[in-house]
Amino acid sequence: MITAADFYEALAEGTLLATRCADCDGLYIPPRSLCPACYGTELKVEELSGKGTVGAYTAVAITTTRMIEAGYGRDNPNITAVVDLAEGVRISALIHGDDITVGTPVVFDSEHSAEHVVFRKDDS
Ligand SMILES: [Zn+2]
């Protein structure tokens, strides 16, 4: 069984993990130990490609103390987005970079992901 701690440990090491239900093939990120669709308990850990597009986003200027300590705020709003991953699942993430809009291709930023899931514009 994978835990949230396992997910964030892998994230800090540059890997984006999900779980896939052995019974109904449902894919979940963050990983779960119980399938919400069929209540199956046999979920296998799967590494995702890290490729996706911006499904929705917002710029957050008034933020938490923790994000201010990380350098964000009125003069440097953080972009928070829902990323539609290539595998068909969605995840909430910070986006590094400008010129983001709905549909912008993004890629998992393994170097900057630790406490947060971070994506950057995919220029490839
Ligand atoms: Zn299932």
HEC assignment per residue over the chain: CCCHHHHHHHHHCCCCEEEEECCCCCEECCCCCCCCCCCCCCEEEEECCCEEEEEEEEEECCCCHHHHHCCCECCECEEEEEEEECCCCEEEEEEECCCCCCCCEEEECCCCCCCCCEEEECCC
The verdict on 66 and 107 lying in the same domain is: yes
Q: Are residues 63 and 32 in the same domain?
A: no
> Do 56 and 39 share a structural domain?
no
pLDDT given at position 1: 78
The pLDDT of residue 98: 83
- Residue 115 and residue 81 in one domain: yes
**Shared domain check, 55 and 42:** no
My answer on whether 91 and 35 are in the same domain is no
What integer pLDDT is reported at residue 3 of this predicted model? 86
For ligand 1, the distance from its centroid to the CA atom of residue 31, given in whole angstroms, is 13
Per-residue confidence (pLDDT) for residue 124, from 0 to 100: 81
What are the 10-residue block averages of pLDDT along the chain, 124 residues in total? 88 93 95 94 95 96 90 92 97 92 95 88 88
Centroid of ligand 1 to alpha carbon of 90 (angstroms): 17
- Specify whether the CB–CB gap between 53 and 81 falls below 8 A: no
CA of 21 to the centre of ligand 1 (A): 5
Determine the distance separating the centroid of ligand 1 and the alpha carbon of 103, expressed in angstroms. 29
Q: Which two tokens stand for residue 82?
A: 């829902």
Q: Could you list the residue range(s) of the whole structural domain that residue 27 is in?
A: 4-47
The number of folded domains in the chain is 2
Q: Do 60 and 107 share a domain, yes or no?
A: yes
Please tell me the predicted confidence (pLDDT) of residue 23. Answer: 97
Kindly state whether residues 94 and 114 are assigned to the same domain: yes
**Rounded mean pLDDT of the chain?**
93
- Predicted local distance difference test score (pLDDT) of residue 70: 85
Spatial contact of 19 and 43, defined as CB atoms under 8 Å apart: yes
